[in-house]
Structure formats: C-alpha cells, structure tokens
Structure 1
C-alpha cells in the first residue's frame, strides 16, 4: 500500500488534518504517519509572470508596448513582498519540499486539501500541475476543519478533474485581472500621471467600487434640502387618558404648504373628535438570517469602533483555521438540508447553561435549512468544538456568529400593534388623525442579544367613542441628504450590484445575492475597500467612506466608462459564476476580456493629454542613524525598515520594522534603539513579553550570520 500526499493551503490547516489523523511526526515542511504525508502552501506559492518576464522590452513602460497580452500565461515563484526583484525564500523552499514529496516512489495518490473555493482550487492546482506529475489527483472538499469532518471528508474525496469548472473560473478571474490591471494601470499612469510615484491603479473591481462612493458623495453634494410641515394633535378620552395623533390626508402626512395645515388648525378650534376605527394586530418578528461574510462584516463594522471589513475577515479566517467556525467566505445565509443533524449537535453543545436554555429548541425550518438557496457554501455557523481561549477580537466575532445561530432556534418575538383613526367632527377637515401603539408580548430570540423593544402605549378605547381635543401644533422639518456610505452599506451595494434593496431579510435580497451578479466575491470585497484606501482613491472619516480628490479626478477623467459601470462588472462576475456552473466557458470569457483591453488601450492612447494625478516629491533631509557594520555607509530609515544607504550596490544590512524576532516579544524597533545598537553594538530593550506573557528587559545584539550577509538577534546575559 502506497502513501497519500495531502496538500493544505496553510500550515495551520495541515496541522488540523494531522491532528484528525492522529499524526504527531513533524518533519521539515510536512507531517508523516499512518500512510499519509501532509504538506502545505502559504496561500499562493506561485504567481503569474510579470510582463517583462515574457519580453525584455516590457521592463520599461512605453505607450507603444501596449496592449500586451501573452500567448500563454506562465507562473513563477512568488516575489518577496519586501523586494519584488527577489524570489520569496520561504515559498521557494516549500515548493522544493512539495516537489520532492510528489516525486517520492511510495506516493501513489495526491489530494488537494486547499479551501473549497475558486481561489483555493487554483492555489492547489497551480502548485500540483506546475510541478508536473502523472499521479492521480483528488480533492478534499470541506466546510470546516473539525476532526469528524476531516475523517468524513477523506471518505468522500472526488477526482480533481471533476473540479475543472471551478479551476476554469479561478484561472479566468486571475488572468483577466492580470490583463486589465497590467495594461490599463500602465497606460493610465503613462497618460494621466505627472511625476514618478505610485502608479494609477486601474482594476476590474476597484473602479466600480470607487464609483459607488463617488456617486453617493455627488448625491450629497447636489442635495437641495426641502422644508415640509406636519400637524399633530393631543386627544383626551372620557376617562381622562391622553394620546397623540398625526394628521393624514390622502395617505400623506408631510405637507409642503404650511397654509394648508394652518387652515386645518383654525378648523380644530372648539371641536371634538370620534374614534372611527381601531385595528389591533399581533405580529411576529423573525430573527435576522444566519450570517454570510458580507452581513457579518457589516454587523461588526457598524457595531464596534475601529473595525474594518478586512479585519473581520482576518479574524473569521483565524476562527475557521482553529476549527471553531465553518468556512467564512460564503455568500449564503441558509444551510444545506444535509446539515440538520450537525446543526442539532452544535446547538446542544452551545445552549448548555444559558439562562434561556429551555427556550432553545431545535427545529428543521425552511428559513434555516434550504439547499436551493445555498450558493456553493452554507452560512457561517459555529462548529461543535467550543473555544477554550479566544483573543478579544476573536471573542467579538465568535460571539456574534454563535448568537446569530442560537437565535434561529428560539421562540419568535411577538408584539401587538394598535392603530387608532380619529376623525374631527368638522366637515372642513377632510383628513384624519392616525395614532400608533406597540407592545412587546414575547421577547423570544431578542433575549440572546438583550435587544430592548420600546413600547408605545395607547389608552384602551373603542370605535365610535368621542374624544376631546386638548392641544394641536404644526412642526416644521427639513428633508435630510442621503448618508455617506459606511463599509456596511458599501458591502450591501457590492453584494447586490447596486440594486437598492431596503430589507436584508427579504426574498428579493436573497435572490439578488444568489444570482452571482455582484461586484467581487465575498472573499475579495474587503481587500478591494482596503486597496481603495491604500492607493488614495477613498478615505475614511470615522465610519464613513468618502472619495478623495484623486478618486474624484479619476472617475471624472478616466475614459473607459464600462469599468465604472456596475452592470458591466456585475455581468463579468456573473459569467465567472456561470463558468463554475458550466453555463459558460473560460475561452469565451477571456476573449471578451482581451478584446475589451485592446479597445480600452487604443481609446486611452487617442484621448487628450490631461493630468489626473501630479506626484511631487519633497526632498527631506535624511537623518543618518549610525554606521553600517558591513560597509560603514550611513544607516537611514526607510518605509519598511532601517537599512544601509549603500543598498543599491548590494549591501544587505537592514533591521525590518516588522522584525519577526522582536514581534514575537511584542516589540518593534525604534529609531532610538537602532542608534544605540549601531553606536554600542548592544542595546537594552525594556518591556519585552515572554511566551508565557511575562514582561522583562534584555540586552540585545544584532550579529552577522557566519555563512551569509544576513543578521540575527542574540540575547546577551552578561552584565
């Protein structure tokens, strides 16, 4: 019997699989035992070639070199994120390990265990197929990494060939974004930017998202406030109970003309009223749907200060890798019907010890379990593994997911709504006064998050009852402009491709999300919002998002209007989702993208010269922090570290600002620390944190490695 090689997307997931298979034996870059070899990637280990890798002339950006579309797309080891010229050392080493395991004689079967989504599919496939193998490749498709699910999943693996549609969709997305990004970013920067600096980023998902924010800013800017008036009256019943009503005429309570209401006000003088109708309705309130990623991001970013969608995704991803929640990058708000048994087991675990434990009852409901409304992944729910310790951020996200799940199985909330209609006994007054009351009868699921309902009490009255008029007044109001977008409202527009759907709980909302007609995917939307901030097209003010001057200039000047069009981008995203469902093909999609890119480049070339962005570099006086221990040139502060000013000639000395050794002890290098270190060869660092959480001080040296030009930290215990 040969061995099975499993490739996970990340080390933490490989460890979950090893734990499930009870494999303790860890080697360099993989686990081994019980007939399994379990290795891992770090997300993408390979990236697409840069344009200049295909053709040397592309090393310099010149308008005449574009459009540039390679004959076939090729992959290379991903670049070091600090130095794009260098291959990432860790990625290269791990690829060698995976390659040697693939080639091992005893390995007769390969299983890709990367995330069950478009991106996970191509992470596994690009590695396995670029390393070339003729061994059979299978796919492990899981929604969570608990031991039970891993063991069950290994019994139900599929030949990887069955996932060709998912691979096609992933590759189509990757190649399309490369072609549009490389061509249009280069050409736009050459045409519309003066001065060297960060490029003018142009992207398929970036620009329509910017346009949503720009449009809202414009709506607010062009908003003209209007004044309107309301009339309210206070009535008294025969047993001296008071209630208030608002004047309605032809179903309208807002009046632009104050005179209309002033005439009615005069007609109210010395009059009485009669209750001509009383309607009492008992209403049910359902809990909000289970979370998909966008709803979770919207909920957390609007409830907690300082959270971004990007942070919510990172924290949810960490909970998923720790086996506490199911797959977070989902668009669905319901569960597959096959998950009823699992959900019941999870609920049993979670409800123990709750003050309302007896009210939590498992039921198989269409609102929670509906396979037809699941888009490739079910909604996010907790797993049966209860977390023992969570960070503060993890606790916020986990509790939200856990509460939302428990709510589904609590009694409905119920309230009683009363509507009174009072008619004044004067034929000059055409309209009526409407009063509304509301009393919460059953709190139900609202107990889970201690949601308070405000009651509005009305006196007990009966139709035909006469009432006196105690008081009346006209109030003046001004129409309010639309609100700035927040991450929550922006995610909603991206998810439904601009369809204005007010109610998150509606069938219409579900249908819009399920259609695949959206901007980006749940997995990429947070990244898009972050990138818009990073490249300076939008900024955040408290929780609001606004377009910057540069963002506005881009929308108003950049001539390829389709890229700002939600319909156009929605159609592209829909086609990708159709490729997954085998309703469309990779070749057809890519041909559309390539033609679009060629035409766009030609159009930009013909446009008038306009400057969208002018980059001016201020010359700063550069502070020398000390001498380089390798070449004696000056050490200066850069964006990512303190390094040698002689780096262009190959000097490798640098202390990174996100140095891993110091970060493990919750420290970052400071300018003062670097100065002392360079001067004395040793520095006392205060307030370091040990693995156990103890705070201590230590003397540190930064010593050159004997076999290369890199440096490592050493603690010095000599006084």
Structure 2
C-alpha cells in the first residue's frame, strides 16, 4: 500500500520526491515504491461569485446588497480577467489529485502544503471538494531538505489535530469575501464615477491606507519651528575639543537673543572640566529575521526593492531548499532546533576570515520557544547554493549573515562624556562633549552594516583648566515626520501602529512589543506585502523614491467612507486577534463569523443612507 502526499506547489513536490526516491514521473505527480507525490498550484479552488449563487446578482444593483450566502460554495479557480471561465490547468490537476486519492493502493494522505493558515486552507477545501474519505495526516516541517522531510514523516499530526487551524483559514477567507464583496460593490455604486473606477474596500486595505493618510496629515499640519544651539571650542593642554551648551535637559533654545547673550557672557573665558565619565556599552547583533524585518531590511538597503519582491525572492530560495519557511513572524528559533542550527552554522562559517570568532551558543536570545509562533525565524539550511540570480544572492546573503552574527560576541564601545563648566555672570554654564570608541569589533567583523567612525576625544581630566577660544550659534529647524516607507508601514501593520520604529531600532523593545501584541496585527507576515501592492494597484497610494504617498483618490475614500470601524487599526487588529484565537482553539468560529455578518449588514445599510459624494463619471459595473 502507498501514501499520497499533497504539496502546495510542483517545486516543493519535486523536493519531497527527491527525498523519498520517487523517480517515476507522471502527468501531475511523482511515484515511488512507498509514496506518491502530487501538488496543487497554490489555490486550485475559489469561493463562488455572487452570480454563481443567483443570476440576479450578475448586474450590480444596490438593492441586492447586503449579500451573504446561506452556504459558502467553491468552484475551480477562474482564469484571471474571466470570472466565468474555469482555469483548465487547475481543473486538470484537481482531477489528477482525485484519481490518486481514489486509487485502491492508496491507504492514507499526508498534507504537505505550507504549515500556516493559508496552506491549511488550500488542502482543506481540496479534500472537501473532491470528498476525501481516507485518513488524512499533516507533516509539520520548516524546510524542504531531505533530513527535515524524513524527520517530519516520523512525527505526523492527525487531521483532527489541525481542525482549529482549518477553522481559522476558512474564517479568514469567508470574512474577507463578505466584507470585500459587499463594501466594494456598494461603495463603488454609491461613490465612484468613471469607467472601471472600482473602489477596493477591504478589511486590511482600509486601515493600512488610513495609516498612510494619518502620516500625510501629520506632515501637512506640521509647522516648522526655529531653534538655536550654542557650540564652544575649548583649548586644553592636550588639544582642542568642542562642547554643546545645555541647561538641565534642554539643548535647543527657541530665542536667538537669549543664546546671543549667553555667547557674549562666556566669550573668551576660562572653564574647567567638571567631570569625565566613561562607560563600556555592548551592542548585541540584531535579532534573526522574520518576514517583516527581512522585507524592511531589503527595501531600505537596496534600491528598487519592494516588500512584494522580497517575499517572492524568499519564496524562491525556500522552494530551492536554501532557507527555512519565510512567512514567519518569529525572531527566534525553537529550542528543539539546537542540533540542526549547529550543523548549519558549521557548514556556513567554514573558511570565513572570522571563523574562529563564530562559536555555537544555546542562548535564550536565539533559541526560545516562547518567542516562536508556528514557525521559527528565517535561517539558511545546510545546503550550499550553486546557481542564484543577483536578487537571490542579495537576499540569501542577508539571511546567512544575520544567522552567523548571532553566534558572535557583542561589539563593545567606550562611551566618554565630558562636562565642562564656564562661570557666567550669575550662573555656571555647562557644556557637554561625547566620544565613542570601539574597543571590541565583535559581530561587526562580519556585519555588512555601516561601521560608524570613532568619535575620538583628546585625553581630558577632571579639574583641568581650559579656555573658550571660539563660540558659534547654529540655527536649525524642527523637521516634520518622515513619509511612510515600505519598511515603516510593514512594521506599523505588524503592531497595528502601536510603536513607531526609529532608525536605530532597539531589538529588546521591539521583541517586548511583539510579545504583548501577539496575534494583534493588520494582516500576517504572508500577506502584508500583497496589501501594499493592492493599495498601489487601486491607485490609493504611489511610490516616490522610497516614500509611499497617498493619492487624491486615496485621500477622498478615507474622508468620505462612513464605516469608521474599517479604518480603525484597533478594530482590524481585534479581527486578526480573533482569527489567531480561533487558531488556538480559544474562540468559536461561528460566533466570530455571525458577528462579522451582522457588522457587514449594518455597514451596507449605512452606506446606502450616506450622503451622495463623487469620487471621479459612472457606467454600469458588472462582475
């Protein structure tokens, strides 16, 4: 008897076939002595369109909405641009899978689609559509190497074990269909004018657009204010150095007159070194990549890269068995992966100039079950790449470097702070000087991050007498918030805008934020790049360099759309959290979906009653 394995894509099917010695190639599957490997092409099935349930729905008519089917049905996916024409390739492959399932020598089926909400959905609806009545199991693995496939086959889960993940996948799909179909159709009929001017309204599209909108409004409302800083050049027995005036915690002053008076007061005077403090600070390597961090890194470091491109290149490397599962939100590894990680580390550090500095460690910062959700962070596999294109090389090297530096020592810097005092007419005037010198290169030996130049201070001692040999007032202006980039928008989506990422991101703070907000986000690691692409395709936002700017159309839809809950990041975050809870078995899917259906019905009626506003000139729209 044989076991049938269903992969998500042909490339993954071939990887499994190679590992299990399935060498007989057939149309749509591979066969070996014990296993048959077949595959989907991602989604082979799609939900019915409205008109599939009722021909009356062919014509867009406000009176037909809200529309929520009593039973959700599936059909073979359609050819892009032809909603009624079934994809012949998908139909053929479904028939192949069905025939293999029904073979008398096939006793059980193993699901090997991606182990996440979407991967489980793909297999679940296939099995229901073709009416599988044989035992189904699930392989849980993080990469498609031979070792991992064989390990996974010895640790199978039952289909019953996967029920909650299946419920979450189906709930997500029905949720997005109901909200998308109803609000997109009714909003387009109500507000849109112009041929083909469809208003794309969705659960994740709208709050993401709102974050771009809010940032634009912050920038528009921002009023630049002048401020002044006073710098003094001191001469000491050991040379010159500069100091910046401060008072309590203030270093920037709004009135030039007061700073000019201060400058006159201290001109040419002697001062004294009040204190010299030194502190050794350690800088640990940045955490392992999850998909959001990887996309942010690539889009900020490489010109022309988008989040969508980073995801596609990562997927290509994954299917080539070179990296672990990329659509992860975790920045740590499961503790069970210690032996595997050591093997990978030994392979990749070999021959490097800093090989001796890379030493395996079981640090909680790297291996921590509490920080792993479904899939571990992205790391390379033990397989050495042979032929990669330039984009694949860039992304692979980033992942490999980030993995290797985890096992190197922290960089160390000697931070020196000098406070110099000049006695003014009535008060002592204080000036701050900082220096930063690297004393141990640590992980920066390998890191491609820019190494900042040392800020070397001349030797200074407490009570040393110095002289003010020149003073300078610098006029500066406050700057508006920066436009969102793909990197900052991805991070805001990951945390529903709960933290604003700074340029020098603090890993500990970021990890703490993600832990508190676990499950509470806009979209998932697998879908955020697609959401940004949808916003561009809908002409709601556009790229200008690395900045994302809102368009007039995007502005208007945010300002007129009456269902404010769909613009609220907290509301969307709670929907995503509910899906997360369904996945964990902590929420009933029917309770959740009934709430969504009620919300949709109320929202559609509200749009119908809304005032008439035009976005754009209208012709009858058809599905």
TM-score normalized by the length of structure 2: 0.97
Per-residue CA deviation, residues 657-679 of structure 1 (Å, 9 max, x unaligned), is: xxxxxxxxxxxxxxxxxxxxxxx
Asked if the contact 1:264–1:429 (Cα under 8 Å) also holds between the matched residues in 2, the reply is no
The yes-or-no answer on 1:250 pairing with 2:253 is no
Asked if the contact 2:268–2:470 (Cα under 8 Å) also holds between the matched residues in 1, the reply is no
Give the equivalent residue in structure 2 for 1:486: 485
The yes-or-no answer on 1:371 pairing with 2:369 is yes
Asked if the contact 1:501–1:508 (Cα under 8 Å) also holds between the matched residues in 2, the reply is no
Give the equivalent residue in structure 2 for 1:448: 446
Asked if the contact 1:249–1:430 (Cα under 8 Å) also holds between the matched residues in 2, the reply is no
- Looking at structure 1, the residues matched to 244 and 498 of structure 2 have their Cα atoms a distance apart, in angstroms, of 33
Asked if the contact 2:267–2:471 (Cα under 8 Å) also holds between the matched residues in 1, the reply is no
- Looking at structure 1, the residues matched to 398 and 471 of structure 2 have their Cα atoms a distance apart, in angstroms, of 46
The yes-or-no answer on 1:577 pairing with 2:580 is yes
Give the equivalent residue in structure 2 for 1:31: 30
* CA displacement at 1:270 relative to structure 2: 3.6
- Looking at structure 1, the residues matched to 66 and 429 of structure 2 have their Cα atoms a distance apart, in angstroms, of 67
- Looking at structure 2, the residues matched to 422 and 340 of structure 1 have their Cα atoms a distance apart, in angstroms, of 51
Give the equivalent residue in structure 1 for 2:599: 596
Give the equivalent residue in structure 1 for 2:547: 544
- Looking at structure 1, the residues matched to 14 and 328 of structure 2 have their Cα atoms a distance apart, in angstroms, of 23
Task: Give matches, 1:137-148, under 5 Å.
Answer: 137-148=136-147
Asked if the contact 1:267–1:429 (Cα under 8 Å) also holds between the matched residues in 2, the reply is no
* CA displacement at 1:613 relative to structure 2: 2.9
Secondary structure of 1:76's aligned partner: strand
Give the greater-gyration-radius structure (CA).
Answer: 1
User: RMSD of aligned C-alpha atoms?
Assistant: 1.3
The yes-or-no answer on 1:134 pairing with 2:133 is yes
- Looking at structure 2, the residues matched to 571 and 465 of structure 1 have their Cα atoms a distance apart, in angstroms, of 60
Per-residue CA deviation, residues 459-504 of structure 1 (Å, 9 max, x unaligned), is: 1111111111111111110111111111001001001111124464
The yes-or-no answer on 1:512 pairing with 2:513 is yes
- Looking at structure 2, the residues matched to 79 and 586 of structure 1 have their Cα atoms a distance apart, in angstroms, of 28
* CA displacement at 1:386 relative to structure 2: 0.8
Give the equivalent residue in structure 2 for 1:525: 528
Asked if the contact 1:229–1:255 (Cα under 8 Å) also holds between the matched residues in 2, the reply is yes
Give the equivalent residue in structure 2 for 1:605: 608
* CA displacement at 1:513 relative to structure 2: 2.6
Give the equivalent residue in structure 1 for 2:468: 469
Asked if the contact 2:423–2:429 (Cα under 8 Å) also holds between the matched residues in 1, the reply is no
Unaligned 5+ runs, structure 2? none
- Looking at structure 1, the residues matched to 227 and 379 of structure 2 have their Cα atoms a distance apart, in angstroms, of 47
- Looking at structure 2, the residues matched to 332 and 428 of structure 1 have their Cα atoms a distance apart, in angstroms, of 57
- Looking at structure 1, the residues matched to 295 and 344 of structure 2 have their Cα atoms a distance apart, in angstroms, of 23
Secondary structure of 1:540's aligned partner: strand
Secondary structure of 1:533's aligned partner: helix
Give the equivalent residue in structure 2 for 1:410: 408
Per-residue CA deviation, residues 273-317 of structure 1 (Å, 9 max, x unaligned), is: 111111001111011100000000000011111111001000000
* CA displacement at 1:528 relative to structure 2: 0.4
Give the equivalent residue in structure 1 for 2:272: 274
- Looking at structure 2, the residues matched to 430 and 594 of structure 1 have their Cα atoms a distance apart, in angstroms, of 69
Secondary structure of 1:485's aligned partner: coil
Asked if the contact 2:7–2:111 (Cα under 8 Å) also holds between the matched residues in 1, the reply is yes
- Looking at structure 2, the residues matched to 592 and 548 of structure 1 have their Cα atoms a distance apart, in angstroms, of 33
The yes-or-no answer on 1:76 pairing with 2:75 is yes
- Looking at structure 2, the residues matched to 372 and 16 of structure 1 have their Cα atoms a distance apart, in angstroms, of 31
- Looking at structure 2, the residues matched to 108 and 495 of structure 1 have their Cα atoms a distance apart, in angstroms, of 42
Asked if the contact 1:273–1:425 (Cα under 8 Å) also holds between the matched residues in 2, the reply is yes
Structure with the larger RCO, 1 or 2 (CA within 8 Å, 6+ apart):
2
Asked if the contact 2:540–2:550 (Cα under 8 Å) also holds between the matched residues in 1, the reply is yes
* CA displacement at 1:509 relative to structure 2: 2.0
Secondary structure of 2:527's aligned partner: helix
Give the equivalent residue in structure 2 for 1:322: 320
Give the equivalent residue in structure 2 for 1:4: 3
* CA displacement at 1:427 relative to structure 2: 4.8
Asked if the contact 1:271–1:426 (Cα under 8 Å) also holds between the matched residues in 2, the reply is no
- CA separation of 1:232 and 1:614: change in aligned 2, threshold 3 A: farther
* CA displacement at 1:82 relative to structure 2: 4.2
- CA separation of 1:598 and 1:71: change in aligned 2, threshold 3 A: same
Task: Give matches, 1:577-656, under 5 Å.
Answer: 577-614=580-617
- CA separation of 1:193 and 1:455: change in aligned 2, threshold 3 A: same
Give the equivalent residue in structure 2 for 1:705: none
Asked if the contact 1:267–1:428 (Cα under 8 Å) also holds between the matched residues in 2, the reply is no
The yes-or-no answer on 1:304 pairing with 2:298 is no
- Looking at structure 2, the residues matched to 454 and 195 of structure 1 have their Cα atoms a distance apart, in angstroms, of 56
* CA displacement at 1:196 relative to structure 2: 3.0
- Looking at structure 2, the residues matched to 592 and 431 of structure 1 have their Cα atoms a distance apart, in angstroms, of 64
Per-residue CA deviation, residues 328-381 of structure 1 (Å, 9 max, x unaligned), is: 000011111111111110000001111111111111111111111111111000
Task: Give matches, 1:220-299, under 5 Å.
Answer: 220-239=219-238, 241-299=239-297
The worse-fitting range, judged by mean Cα deviation, of 436-445 and 496-505 is 496-505
* CA displacement at 1:517 relative to structure 2: 0.8
* CA displacement at 1:264 relative to structure 2: 1.2
- Looking at structure 2, the residues matched to 246 and 164 of structure 1 have their Cα atoms a distance apart, in angstroms, of 63
- Looking at structure 1, the residues matched to 430 and 347 of structure 2 have their Cα atoms a distance apart, in angstroms, of 55
Secondary structure of 1:194's aligned partner: coil
* CA displacement at 1:85 relative to structure 2: 2.0
The yes-or-no answer on 1:331 pairing with 2:334 is no
- Looking at structure 1, the residues matched to 565 and 521 of structure 2 have their Cα atoms a distance apart, in angstroms, of 15
Give the equivalent residue in structure 1 for 2:198: 199
Asked if the contact 2:113–2:122 (Cα under 8 Å) also holds between the matched residues in 1, the reply is yes
Unaligned 5+ runs, structure 1? 618-719
Give the equivalent residue in structure 2 for 1:643: none
TM-score normalized by the length of structure 1: 0.84
- Looking at structure 2, the residues matched to 222 and 505 of structure 1 have their Cα atoms a distance apart, in angstroms, of 29
